[in-house]
């Protein structure tokens, strides 16, 4: 049985004090039943992580970072190493489409980061997804399947807990135009089949695969009703504590 996950990607938003306030509201609003049924993750900017690690201690809300570099240390000005993160958070988002688009992250770099995160004991949330052009051309399933295979090409997966995937069609991110649950399920099913081929069916059945792209409390119930969708990677709606906590509650009820 896969535990659903609702993960908030705060992107480059909030001051430290706003982030602390947001985190506290999320942490203190969620019921014990909800956090027992759903894994809740907040991924704030780097500058917030140590402070929020203190806030998260003893709570069920987990922390994640939004990126990392694949080297352990050295002359890489401006980068953050996996080891620096492993002390203060559990998860790390890897290969978000905004990093692929704006920071030229290739499949090769994503694979190096995934391998290093797993080796360091961080759990990568690996993002894949197609552009609108690829969607319209009809080649979105092979495109996403290739991204999944590439992401896992440099690592060995020792347990299903070690990683999470997020299918985020680029055309749905921040647009208010979420994919339909059926469209998301079609691709996420293909991702699970691919994982079966890469790491074996037993692991593949236990790996969480999230949907991301304009997910809200209005549509999360429909995504959770699909057999292969295990939750959401939430951007804009994760900055509103009431919407985000409502999404956690709805996900908990859907699998309760
Ligand atoms: P969105 O972002 O929910 O604002 O569409 C999702 C993401 O980029 O992870």
Name every residue whose Cβ is closer than 8 Å to that of residue 188 and which is 6 or more positions away in sequence. Answer: 167, 209, 211, 226, 228, 229
Domains and CATH numbers, the chain: 5-254 (3.20.20.70)
Nearest CA to ligand 1 atom 7: 235
Cβ(229) – ligand 1 distance below 6 Å: no
Question: Among 65, 174, 218, 238, which is best to mutate for testing ligand 1, by the most ligand atoms less than 8 A from CB?
Answer: 174
Instruction: State in Å: Cα 173 to ligand 1 middle.
Output: 5
Question: Could you say which DSSP state residue 227 is in?
Answer: T
Cβ(216) – ligand 1 distance below 6 Å: no
Instruction: Note the pTM of the prediction, 2 decimals.
Output: 0.97
194 and 214 Cβ atoms separated by less than 8 Å:
no
pLDDT in tens, 215-239: 999 999 999 999 999 999 999 999 9
Give the CA radius of gyration of the chain. 17
Q: How many CA atoms lie within 13 A of 222 on its CB side?
A: 13
pLDDT (tens place) for every residue of the chain, 256 residues total: 899 999 999 999 999 999 999 999 999 999 999 999 999 999 999 999 999 999 999 999 999 999 999 999 999 999 999 999 999 999 999 999 999 999 999 999 999 999 999 999 999 999 999 999 999 999 999 999 999 999 999 988 777 778 999 999 999 999 999 999 999 999 999 999 999 999 899 899 999 999 999 999 999 999 999 999 999 999 999 999 999 999 999 999 997 6
Give me the catalytic one of 48, 96, 105, 130.
Answer: 96
pLDDT in tens, 89-129: 999 999 999 999 999 999 999 999 999 999 999 999 999 99
What is the rounded distance in angstroms from the CA atom of residue 251 to the CA atom of residue 46?
27
Residue 168 annotated to the active site:
yes
10 and 238 Cβ atoms separated by less than 8 Å:
yes
Question: Among 96, 98, 214, which is best to mutate for testing ligand 1, by the most ligand atoms less than 8 A from CB?
Answer: 214
């Amino acid at each position: 049985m896969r535990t659903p996950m609702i993960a908030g990607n705060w992107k480059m938003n909030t001051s430290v004090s706003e982030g602390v306030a947001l985190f506290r509201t999320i942490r203190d609003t969620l019921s014990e039943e909800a956090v027992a049924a759903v894994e809740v993750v907040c991924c704030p900017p780097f500058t917030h992580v140590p402070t929020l690690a203190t806030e998260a201690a003893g709570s069920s809300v987990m922390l994640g970072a939004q990126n990392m570099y694949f080297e352990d240390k050295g002359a890489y000005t401006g980068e953050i190493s996996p080891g620096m993160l492993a002390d203060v958070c559990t998860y790390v988002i890897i290969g978000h489409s905004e990093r692929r688009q704006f920071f030229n992250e290739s499949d090769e770099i994503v694979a190096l980061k995934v391998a290093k995160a797993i080796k360091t004991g961080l759990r990568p949330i690996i993002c894949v997804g197609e552009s609108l052009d690829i969607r319209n051309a009809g080649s979105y399933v092979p495109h996403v399947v290739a991204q999944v295979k590439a992401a896992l090409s440099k690592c060995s997966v020792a347990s299903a807990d070690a990683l999470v995937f997020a299918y985020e069609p680029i055309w749905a991110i921040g647009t208010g135009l979420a994919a339909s649950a059926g469209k998301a399920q079609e691709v996420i099913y293909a991702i699970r089949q691919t994982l079966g081929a890469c790491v074996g069916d037993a692991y593949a059945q236990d790996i969480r695969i999230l949907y991301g792209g304009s997910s809200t409390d209005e549509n999360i119930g429909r995504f959770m009703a699909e057999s292969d969708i295990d939750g959401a990677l939430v951007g804009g709606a994760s900055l509103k504590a009431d919407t985000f906590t409502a999404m956690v509650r709805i996900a908990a009820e859907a699998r309760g």
